[in-house]
Structure 1
Amino acid sequence: MTCLETIRSIFKHLHWANQQILETLQKGEEENKHANNLFSHILHAEKVWFTRLKGKDSSHLPIWAEVTLESCEELVKQNNQNFTAFLSNLTNLELDQFVSYNNSKGTEFHHSIRDILTHVALHGQYHRGQINILLRAADLEPINVDFITFRR
């Protein structure tokens, strides 16, 4: 398996994991506002990074925004479509191309496409773990979003 094939697989997992979180939060009898906000953050960050990968300004996009689960559902769909299309047109050689962008404070950075894609996947998994802690604290069953579970 090439590096690009691995990244594509990781992004399929990312979408699957987002779907698992979304469905669980939608089924909740009581709204878990903090979990919803973390989930919204994951999705908004994915959108910001995709915008940067496309060479566009992301400064107008929120990173933390309280939105409804209906809005999250649309972002899950939109982010998956965007990254799937982006990754389907990407080559192994392009993974090492650098992208220049400004962070939310206006500081300019340059990172490879490979590093950005890795960050997006790890960032989401980190916050999905936090969501699971919140679910457990609310006496709810955590969601198994492990990569190996996805691969099974």
Structure 2
Amino acid sequence: MKSYLIRLVDYEQWANRAVIDALENVPTPPQRAIDLMGHILSAQQIWLARILGEVSYVAVWEDIPIAWMAETSDRNFDRLKRFLENETDDNLSRPIAYATTTGQPFANPLIDILTHMSHHAAYHRGQIVQLIRPQLTEAPKTDFILWARN
């Protein structure tokens, strides 16, 4: 399972960078598209902090300039991948206790959190592509199967 999750994280980085690259090349990206990509990256940082038992100082809808998105994505990817590489398969089902942004306490298995992170980002990447598609000759294709074929 650990190797699958590492593959999923590798895919996530590839897909995020494809969308970020597209945002960098759109002449006038819609503010909503910028906000959504910032949200993806902020949510990753928040979940990483929860997983690692750290305090997060990032807002759920952090204002991240396009110029900072690639570096932020790279940093999130490096931290998450390094974490996973040091985990055992047995630890993937351990509960992670955390509080929501409204302070409500929860605990979910690590594997469920990692799955949520992937699905959450994919959902919002689709929204971003819809918003920027009219300004692109070719919209980024971020389907998992396209990444897996390479």
Q: Specify the TM-score bucket, using the shorter chain as the normaliser.
A: over 0.9
> Which of 63, 66, 71 is matched with 2:68 structurally?
71
Count of matched residue positions in the alignment of Structure 1 and Structure 2? 148
Question: What secondary structure sits across from 1:101 in the alignment?
Answer: strand
Partner of 2:38: 40
TM-score where L is the length of structure 1: 0.92
2:114 partner letter: L
1:84, CA displacement in angstroms? 1.1
Question: What secondary structure sits across from 1:109 in the alignment?
Answer: strand
Partner of 2:14: 16
Partner of 1:124: 121
2:69 and 2:106 map into 1 onto residues whose CA distance is 28
TM-score where L is the length of structure 2: 0.93
1:84 and 1:15 map into 2 onto residues whose CA distance is 10
> Which of 15, 27, 30 is matched with 2:28 structurally?
30
Question: What secondary structure sits across from 1:127 in the alignment?
Answer: helix
1:151 and 1:29 map into 2 onto residues whose CA distance is 30
Partner of 1:53: 51
1:103 partner letter: T
Partner of 1:94: 91
1:107 and 1:56 map into 2 onto residues whose CA distance is 17
- 1:104 matched to 2:94: no
1:139, CA displacement in angstroms? 4.5
- 1:150 matched to 2:147: yes
Percent of paired sites with the same residue: 30
2:115 and 2:80 map into 1 onto residues whose CA distance is 13
RMSD between aligned residues = 1.2
1:135 partner letter: I
Question: What secondary structure sits across from 2:98 in the alignment?
Answer: strand
